[in-house]
Structure 1
Amino acid sequence: MIELSQINDDEYNDVELILAREGIEDELYDGIVYTLKDDETIIGAGKALLEPSYAVLEYIVIERGSRGMDLGDAILRSLLLKLNNLGIYDIFYPHCDAYLIQKGFRDNHIEDMARYELHLNIPSFFYGNCCGDCDGV
């Protein structure tokens, strides 16, 4: 059974191992971190850092053996929903990433946020037209 939740104290070591295998170092104590479990085994994690008026996506990681099933989408959507509920409506990512572009991130054209290559307006992600057309057709 697949389960998605915010990280709890018992999961830090397991998530650190997954991140280490991907070459990611993170203390996990700041920001919003979600874990994805399959039958009590953590198979993925995602993190967003909170700034006063926006968030920065740090990573979405899925164990190699569990990739290809769009499980990262579940983590991304959970992070975005949490941010939206907190009143954070913009999220940025520092690098160009094909997966995130496929999910709706776009080139960042906000001048004072130039250090980030990608941007997503969270309400548009959830409430925008499904086809990217002004009338939804």
Structure 2
Amino acid sequence: MDVQPIVDRLIEKLAGLQLREIAAAGGLDDAMRGNKAAPALYVIPLGERAINTDHTGPVDWLERSLFGVVVVVEARDMALNLAQLRRRIKLALVGWVVDNTTGEPVLFQGGELVDFPGDGQLWWSDEFLMTSYFRSEE
């Protein structure tokens, strides 16, 4: 899954916030090892599922792609609290269509605490779903 369009969207829509980093990551470990400072966001691909649809001729299906936006904030930093940042992320992504030719609007799926290791940083992940259509050429 190519998460770069999602990263680009977040960079554009959250430009007014004082985020130190908005980037793609290969996974949670990659994000945590690469993190230099908070507040930061990492977009992580979480999974893809295909659902075949009825067809005549070429093979076609729905592709459902799940991705996470992992947020890291300093627990003591009240200038940009977690609830406000999550709301801004949802406003940037929910309802947005990644690919106007084959896609549907992004939907929010849920969120959860990822880590609160005691070093002053809190890690939270929100999950989003995007659906697109694929048709083979054969």
> Is TM more than 0.5 here?
no
Shorter-chain TM-score bucket reads 0.3 to 0.5
| TM-score using structure 1 length | 0.33
More strand, by proportion: 2
More helix, by proportion: 1
Larger radius of gyration: 2
